[in-house]
Amino acid sequence: MATDPLDALPDGVVIAGPDGTVTLTNAVARRMLGVDGVVGQPLDEVLLLLDNDGRAWVEVNEPYAGLATRTGIPEQSWLQPDGTEVLTHARLHRERARGPVTGVAVTIRSGRGRARLDRERSDLVATVAHELRSPLTGVKGFVQALLNRWDKLNDDQKKLMLTTVSVDSDRLSRLIAELLDVARLDTGRLQLHPRPSDAAVLAERVVGSVQQTTSRQVELHAEPDLPSITVDPDKFTQVVTNLVENGIRHGEGTVSVHVSAGPDLVTLTVEDEGDGIPVELRKRVFTKFWKGGASAGSGLGLYLVGGLVKAHGGTVTVTDAAQGGARIETTWPHGEMEF
C-alpha cells in the first residue's frame, strides 16, 4: 500500500467537504484526536477539541457560517480529550468570492512549542523583575534617607549616598539597554554605528570603571601600536564590560584583560582565576538565560557577548586559562568593514 503523502507532515490535517463531513485525515491527526476510520463522519464528531469552557471547536468557530468574506480561522489554543494543549489553524475554501464554504482544512500541532516560548517569556519577566529590584531598592532607600534626614547628614554622607544612587541608576540603564539589544538581536534589527576605534583605549576605560566598583584586581595588558578596529564603540564597550563582570562574578583572584593583534584580527581576551567552565557547558554559556554558579546574573550577559561579537564579524571562544580559570577570547577584524 502506498504511503499517504500527508502522513509525512509534522502537523495533523483534517479536511472536510461542503456538507461538513470529513473527506481526509492524516496519521498525525488521527493519533492526536484518538480516532480512526473517520472519513464520512461529521467534522464536529471528529474534531474532538474543547476550550476551557467545554465548548467544541466547530461550535465556537462555525466554519460554515459567519461572514461571507471569511477565508480562515487564526491560530487558537484547544485541549485534547486528555487535557493536552494543541494549536489549530484553519483555512476556509470558497469556489467564488463571497460564495458558500466548499471545504474546511484544519491543521493541528502540539502546543509544547508555545509552552516553551511562554516559559522563556516567564523567565525573562522573572529575570527582569529580579535584576531591577535590587538597584531600585537601593535608589529608593537612599533617596528616602536623604529626604528624611537631609539636615542631619554631613556632606560626606550625602555624597556617598548620591554616588550610590548614581551607580545603581547606571546599572538600571545598562540592564534596560541589554534587554533592548536582546530583543534587537532576536528580531534581526540590531543597528551598529561603526567607526575606527582603539581597542586598548576602550578596554582601559572599562577596566577603570569596573575597578571602582569592586575590590577584586582587574588588570589590562595591551600590546603597543595596535591597529584600529572598525566597531560600534558602545557595543564593544558593552562586550568588554560583560566579560570583565562575568570574570568577577564567577571567578576568583585577578581578572586579566589582554589585547593583542594578529595579521587580520585584534584579539581581546578576559581571564579569571576561578574554576573555569567545563568543556560540556562551553557551547551553552552563550545561550539566552544560561546561568552558572551561585552568583549568577541575568543570564543575558554572555548571550549578548556572542551576538554582538558575531554582528561585528568576529568570533568568541571559551578555553582554560593558564592559571586554571576561564579564558574567553573574542576576535575583531581590523581595517575597513562592511555592516
What pLDDT, on a 0 to 100 scale, did the predictor assign at position 231?
A: 94
Q: What is the pLDDT of residues 177-204, one digit of tens each?
A: 888 888 888 778 888 899 999 999 999 9
What pLDDT, on a 0 to 100 scale, did the predictor assign at position 113?
A: 65
Averaged pLDDT for residues 210-230: 91
What pLDDT, on a 0 to 100 scale, did the predictor assign at position 297?
A: 59
Q: Is the pLDDT at 337 greater than 60, yes or no?
A: no
Q: Quick one: pLDDT band at residue 97, thresholds 50, 70, 90?
A: confident
81 DSSP assignment:
T
Residue type, 59: E
What pLDDT, on a 0 to 100 scale, did the predictor assign at position 39?
A: 92
Structural contact between residues 250 and 295, judged by C-beta atoms closer than 8 angstroms: yes
Q: What is the pLDDT of residues 245-299, one digit of tens each?
A: 888 888 778 999 999 998 889 999 999 987 888 888 887 888 776 666 555 556 7
What pLDDT, on a 0 to 100 scale, did the predictor assign at position 263?
A: 85
Q: Quick one: pLDDT band at residue 116, thresholds 50, 70, 90?
A: low
Distances from the Cα of 62 to the Cα of 88, 90, 130, 191, angstroms: 14, 11, 45, 46
Distance CA 233, CA 197 (A): 7
Distance CA 319, CA 183 (A): 28
What pLDDT, on a 0 to 100 scale, did the predictor assign at position 1?
A: 40
What is the CA angle 108-111-116, rounded to 5?
150
Q: What is the dihedral of CA 189, 194, 198, 204, to 10 degrees?
A: -30
Contacts of 143 (CB under 8 A, 6+ apart): 165
**DSSP per position, 247-309:** HHHH--S-EEEEEEE-SSEEEEEEE-SS----GGGTTTTTSTT---STT---S-HHHHHHHHH
Averaged pLDDT for residues 225-248: 92
Distances from the Cα of 186 to the Cα of 103, 183, 298, angstroms: 38, 5, 17
Q: Is the pLDDT at 122 greater than 50, yes or no?
A: yes
Q: At 121, which helix (H) or strand (E)?
A: helix 112-149
Q: Is the pLDDT at 336 greater than 70, yes or no?
A: no
Q: Which of 114, 48, 122, 38 is nearest to 80 (CA)?
A: 48
Q: Is the pLDDT at 45 greater than 80, yes or no?
A: yes
Q: Which of 200, 207, 190 is nearest to 243 (CA)?
A: 207
Dihedrals φ, ψ of 333, to 5°?
-60, 135
Report how far Cα 233 is from the mean position of its chain's Cα atoms. Answer: 23
Averaged pLDDT for residues 300-328: 89
Averaged pLDDT for residues 154-172: 89
Q: Is 48 helix (H, G, I), strand (E, B) or coil?
A: coil
Structural domains of the chain, ranges and CATH numbers in brackets: 5-110 (3.30.450.20), 115-187 (1.10.287.130), 195-333 (3.30.565.10)
Q: Which three cell numbers stand for residue 197?
A: 576605534
Structural contact between residues 204 and 220, judged by C-beta atoms closer than 8 angstroms: yes
Structural contact between residues 123 and 147, judged by C-beta atoms closer than 8 angstroms: no
Distance CA 316, CA 268 (A): 10
Structural contact between residues 135 and 169, judged by C-beta atoms closer than 8 angstroms: yes
Summary mean pLDDT of the chain:
87
Q: Which of 45, 43, 85 is nearest to 65 (CA)?
A: 43
Q: 28 versus 291: which is more confidently predicted?
A: 28
Instruction: Tell me the pTM.
Output: 0.61
